[in-house]
Amino acid sequence: MNKKPQFSLETAVSHIKNGDTILVGGFGMTGNPVHLLHALAETDVRDLTYVANNVGEPGLGGGRLLRNGQIVKAIGSFFTSNREAVAAAQSGAIEVELIPQGSLAEAMRAAGAGIGGFYTPTSAGTVLAEGKETKEINGVQHVFQPALRGDVALIRAWRADEAGNLVYRMTEQNFNKAMATAAKLVIVEAEEIVPLGALDPNEIHTPGCYVDFLVQAHTTLEDLGSSASISGGAKKVSEARMNMARRALQELKAGDVVNLGVGIPTLVADLITPEHGIILHTENGMLGVGPAPEAGGALDYPVNAGKIPVTALPGSSYFDSADSFAMIRGGHVDVAIMGGLQVDEAGNLANWAVPGKPLLGVGGAMDLASGAKKLIITMTHASRDGAAKIVPECTLPLTALGAVDMIITDLAVFGFEDGKLTLLELMPGATLEEVEGKTTAVFYKSQ
């Protein structure tokens, strides 16, 4: 078995050239090849196209390259986690291409498999589909996403053997696994490099044929940024928000695979007990998400899609982002509970962009909204300025067309009976007059 060259960080990144497209693993700073990126930040390499879920954090990982002016273009799904990336995009210092998270992962898996691209229902009818080829397949509008290949992939692994076989740790598979297949040159930084035969072939995530160079690098708490640790303490949550979470929980049944968005949906997780028999899915690569640990961080625990350390329940499993979104698009997630900015009479959802803000943070919202078997939206009935959120037609950028099955607000619960927006029940303390006064959409009352 051939052994892969083992280099220093400096020697490894010396193979990256001006103008290269680099694929950078990680979800937030979890599984991020931070040491390779920081070594690259010490070079004079410029005009990089940076492909990743996000551009690190301010001054950390890809964020250091950004500060140096080494990035000319960024391709990813959630740039808003780095305020400096947002500022650079707004000022025109970098060009930005936003791709839904699942499409991003699949685009690199396609490249690694020698496939030119694929059709997906994700983003159909939204601004992210503008200018792209579309096609109706089995009555559903699909968008063509070209494969995405890089010149160099920078990968973070937990363990590597001398042949380049890789094992990732918990949710650190994320984008690393697909990216390792999709570049001309693959450079891996590993926590540990072990002799041939030390890894069980049954446990290999990335075979050594994809890997070119190895670097040994140790991750510390400082390398993990905002995921480094979690502090305990009870959250102060209004009774109205808890009522929405409790009502959403009523829609879940034992055995359901459920994905929870940020905000009010996160509160549902606090209400779930083992007796409910609900399996929580997080799109960065985990089934069986448990409660947050009392202490510790991403060095000790997996992280969820909010980049928060969580525990793993008995029977949990880990996988990469491409497989995770295949679960979503393939209809293997039973329920998604998400926040909303607007829902209209046709069940269209807008929940990822607001007026006056750059379109820089779609994440996995479009994939989940169009892929989950049932979509429940939890949101306040009106915005802070009193504007209705349940409207005749969405005026904000769309997330998905006709995808919403249920709306739960602080005032009411709506469904879509026979395709019509229908008031199902009032929330505690709410009146019909109040609901009518704060809803501009036409709705019917359940019989």
Strands 412-417 and 420-426: antiparallel
Of 89, 101, 64, which is closest to residue 283 (Cα–Cα)? 101
Name residue 435's amino acid. V
Bridge partners, 335 (sequence order): 258, 374
Catalytic-role residue among 283, 294, 345, 436: 283
- In the annotation, is 433 catalytic? no
The one-character DSSP state at 238 is -
- Asked if residues 156 and 26 have their Cβ atoms less than 8 Å apart, the reply is yes
One-letter identity of residue 204: I
- Residue type for position 168: Y
If you compute the radius of gyration of the chain from its CA atoms, what whole number of angstroms results?
Answer: 22
- Could you give the CA distance from residue 43 to residue 36 in angstroms, rounded to a whole number? 11
The Cα-based distances of 310 to 150, 242, 313 in angstroms read 32, 21, 10
| Alpha-carbon distance values, 140 to 73, 134, 191, 377 (Å) | 32, 10, 45, 22
Helices (H) and strands (E) in the chain, counts: 11, 24
Catalytic residues: 283
